[in-house]
Amino acid sequence: MKHSTVITGVLAIAFIALTVTSCNGNKKADNNDDRHHSEVKSDDHSNMNHDNSDGHHDKYTHKGERAIDINAQKNVTTSPIIDAYIQIKNGLVATDEAATAKGGTVLLTAFSKFDMTTLKDDTHKEYMEIYESAKEQAEHIVKSAIDHQREHFETLSTDINDLITLLGTEKTLYQDFCPMANNNKGAYWLSEVEAIKNPYFGSKMMKCGSIKRQIN
């Protein structure tokens, strides 16, 4: 009888210990979930687009790739680069491989003529990072088939958006978003017109997308 009582006591202690451990584990998991939700909210905030029409400088991040101080000045020196990018975009909207490739060539020329000697310190460093990526995308666009042109256009759109954020522009542009591009992960692009004209699908889904923000 005494032996049975001891066994019962041991089992009871073991059960209590397991219960305490399980509760602590669940509490830790809940804390992790809370921390995760907090991080998501923080990330969402960092990717918000702010209206800087009052000249206020803020940080802009695109998919967490670059954090750049927003430059709200009306910079005319970026216009040839932006015009070439728009030429690429319009070629893709029309599903015109040759026109898109020509736009890529024009973009490479625009970058080669850009006077980067006026850029100082961190601005110059950030510009070079953007330039190297944009140059690579443009070179692929020049020699690729339309499907691959569209793939490289996605990264190029990030680069040109970051260039505008870094240096500013005199142009009024619209940052558009298609939720079905990039295998339903979504992708951005810049447009000179308010109407949605989708470069990722062309006539297949011309109006798929929405305006996320207006620049100027």
**Looking at this protein, which amino acid is placed at residue 102?**
K
pLDDT at 55: 36
Domain 59-215 has CATH 1.10.3470: no
Which of 88, 87, 96 has its CA nearest to residue 203?
96
> With 80 as the cut, is the pLDDT of residue 208 above it?
yes
pLDDT at 167: 97
Residues of the chain with pLDDT > 90, as a percent, come to: 66
> With 90 as the cut, is the pLDDT of residue 47 above it?
no
Tell me what the pLDDT averaged over the chain comes to. 79
Which of 190, 184, 193, 205 has its CA nearest to residue 159?
190
Q: Strand (E) positions, 164-209?
A: 173-178, 187-191
DSSP-assigned beta bridge partners for residue 130: none
Q: Give 204's DSSP letter.
A: G
Range 43-59 average pLDDT: 35
Range 68-91 average pLDDT: 94
Please list the alpha-helical segments (H only) found in the chain: 2-46, 79-93, 97-113, 121-143, 146-167, 181-184
Tell me the pLDDT tens digit for each residue of 156-205.
Answer: 999 999 999 999 999 999 999 999 999 999 999 999 999 999 999 999 99
Q: How far apart are the first and last CA of the chain?
A: 87
Are the C-beta atoms of 64 and 43 separated by less than 8 Å? Answer: yes
Question: Of residues 208 and 35, which shows the higher confidence score?
Answer: 208
49 band by pLDDT with thresholds 50, 70 and 90: very low
Whole-structure pTM value = 0.71
Q: Give 190's DSSP letter.
A: E
